[in-house]
Amino acid sequence: MALQCGIVGLPNVGKSTLFNCLSNAKAQAANFPFCTIEPNVGVITVPDERLNKLAELVKPQRVVPNTIEIVDIAGLVKGASKGEGLGNQFLGNIRNTDAIIHVLRCFDDGNVVHVDGSVDPVRDKEIIDTELQLKDLDSVMKRIQKVEKQAKTGGDKEAKRTYEILTVVKSHLESGKSARTAPIEKEDFAFIADLSLLTVKPILYVCNVDEASVNAGNAYVERVREAVKDENAEILVISAQIESEIAQLDSYEERQLFLEDLGLNESGVNKLIRAAYQLLNLATYFTAGVQEVRAWTIEKGFTAPQAAGVIHTDFEKGFIRAEVIKYDDFIQYGSEAAVKEAGKLSVEGKSYILQDGDIMHFRFNV
C-alpha cells in the first residue's frame, strides 16, 4: 500500500532538514534501506521492534519491514491558492498525499532568519491553513454550482444530500476553519470524497524546537497546542538540529549513546515515522516463516480476506480461512508449533477483523 505523508512548512522552519534526516533513519532502527523514487519522495522504513523479535525467534532468510512514502512538498508563499510562487505545484503535491505533516518553527535563533521576520508558529500555521482553505473553498463552490439546481428542482436524494453537506462545509471554510472539523457526520464526507479536499486530510503538527526544549517543550509549543486543540490533530515535539547531529554519527551504537546523553529513549525521526504511520490509520500484521518474516500494512478494520489481498489478489478471491496467532502468544511460546500445542492458534473466517500485531497464515484456493 503506497500511502504518502506530505511534509509542509514555510521556509526556514526545519522541514527539509527533517526530510533529509529521514534518509538516515535506517541506522537508527535497523539495517533497512531508505530509497528515493523521485527527487523529493522517500520510501521510509517503519520502526517496529516486534518485527525484530519475531526474526530473532524464527531466524528467517530475510526480514521485510513496513514502509511509507514521505514527500518533501514544494515551498509555499501567500497567494498559493491563486497560483502565486510555486502554489500550484505545492497544492497539487498535497492533493496527491494521504496525510499532512506540518512542521512549525518553535525555536529562537538569530542566525536563522524567519521569512516573516519573527518567530510565531501559530501565524505560520494560519498562513498555510488559509491557502489550503481557500483552495478547498474554490472546489466546494464550483461543485455547489453543479449540484444546486439538481438538488432544488429534481427528485435526486443524493444530490440534495450532497448539496446540504457542501453548504455546511462552505460556511465552515468561510469562517477560517478546515473541512476536517466541519459539523457533519463522518460518513457524510463520502458524498464529497471525489473533491479530494486538502483540509480534510489528517494532520500531524511537528513542533521543531531547540535542544533545551526537546523533552518538555516551550512556550511556542504550548501556543500551538492551544491553537489546534479543536482540530482532532496530533502534535509531536522534535529538534531538527538534534536529528541532524544524530544523522552524522557513523554507527547505531554512537547514536544510542548520543540519545542517552540527552535523556532521550529514541530519536525524533523514529517517533515521526511511527506517528505518520498511525496518522494514516494503518495497522500491521505479520507473516513468519523460515524463508521470510514480514510486516504487512493494512488499514484498520480490514477483514481477513482484505488483509490476504494485500499479499496477492488471488489470496482474497480464493480465501478459505485464516490461521491466527497473537503476537504476545508467539513471543511467549517461541514458535508456531509451540503455540499450536498450547491451543493458542485460532482458525477464523471471512468476517474476522484483523488486530494490530496478528501473525497470519492464509488458506486459499484459486
pLDDT confidence band for 31 (50 / 70 / 90): very low
Kind of pairing between the strands at 4-8 and 67-72: parallel
Same domain, 21 and 110: yes
Which ranges constitute the DSSP H helices of the chain?
15-22, 26-29, 49-58, 87-95, 121-153, 157-174, 219-228, 240-248, 252-261, 268-279, 304-311, 313-317, 327-333, 336-341
Q: What is the mean pLDDT of residues 80-102?
A: 70
Hey, which residues does 73 pair with through a beta bridge?
Answer: none
Which has more pLDDT, 361 or 13? 361
Tell me the helix, strand and coil percentages in the chain, rounded to 5: 45, 20, 35
pLDDT tens-place string over residues 37-80? 555 777 888 888 999 999 999 999 999 998 888 888 766 656 55
Query: CB-side exposure of 190: number of CA atoms within 13 Å?
Result: 5
- Residue 67 annotated as binding? no
Residues 15 and 95 in one domain: yes
Average pLDDT of the segment spanning 331-358: 96
**Is 320 contained in some domain?**
yes
Same structural domain for residues 98 and 165?
A: no
Same domain, 88 and 221: yes
Lowest mean pLDDT among 169-173, 238-242, 315-319: 238-242
Encode pLDDT of 264-288 as tens digits: 888 888 888 888 888 888 899 999 9
- pLDDT, average across residues 238-259: 85
Q: Are residues 91 and 162 in the same domain?
A: no
Same domain flag for 106 and 209: yes
In a domain, 294, yes or no: no
CA distance readout (Å), 307 to 5, 353, 360, 361: 22, 9, 9, 11
Reference 161, options 169, 178, 198; nearest CA is 169
Residues linked to residue 235 through DSSP beta bridges, in sequence order: 205
Say whether pLDDT at 307 is over 90: yes
Establish whether 15 is an annotated binding residue: yes
Given a cut of 80, whether residue 156 has pLDDT beyond it is no
* Domain-located, residue 31: yes
- CA dihedral 102→107→109→112, nearest 10 degrees, is 0
Residues 6+ apart with CB under 8 A from 188: 161, 165
End-to-end CA distance of the chain: 23
How far are the Cα atoms of 8, 285, 329 from residue 339, in angstroms, in the given order? Answer: 46, 17, 7
**Do the domain assignments include residue 286?**
no
Question: Is the domain of 265 the same as that of 306?
Answer: no
121-153 and 219-228 are packed helices; what angle lies between their axes, rounded to 10 degrees? Answer: 10
Residue 224 reports pLDDT greater than 90: yes
311 or 115: which carries more pLDDT confidence?
A: 311
> For residue 328, is it within any domain?
yes
Q: Is residue 55, in this structure, part of any structural domain at all?
A: no
Average pLDDT, the chain: 85
CB 360 within 8 A of CB 354: yes
**Which one has a higher pLDDT value, 233 or 360?**
360
Q: Are 173 and 220 within one domain?
A: no
Which of these three, 181, 199, 217, is where a domain ends? 199
pLDDT of residue 30: 40
31 shares a domain with 153: no
C-alpha cell at position 360:
497470519
On whether both 193 and 208 belong to a single domain, the answer is: no
Residue 271 annotated in ligand binding? no
pTM of the model: 0.82
**Residue 26 — pLDDT band, cuts 50, 70, 90?**
very low
Instruction: State the pLDDT at residue 102.
Output: 92
* Alpha helices in 190-341, H assignment, sequence order: 219-228, 240-248, 252-261, 268-279, 304-311, 313-317, 327-333, 336-341
Q: What is the CATH number of the domain that holds 320?
A: 3.10.20.30
> The domain spanning residue 242 has which CATH number?
3.40.50.300
In a domain, 295, yes or no: no
Residue 180 CB neighbour total at 10 angstroms: 17
Pairing of strands 234-238, 203-208: parallel
What is the tally of structural domains in the chain? Answer: 3
Any binding-site annotation on 12?
yes
**Do 76 and 39 fall within a single domain?**
yes
Looking up residue 156, the CATH number of its domain turns out to be: 1.10.150.300
Q: Can you say whether the dihedral through the CA atoms of 132, 135, 138, 142 is positive or negative?
A: negative
Domain span at residue 175? Answer: 127-199
Query: What strand order describes the sheet that includes 319-325?
Result: 62-64, 292-299, 282-288, 359-364, 319-325, 346-348
**152 and 234 co-located in one domain:** no
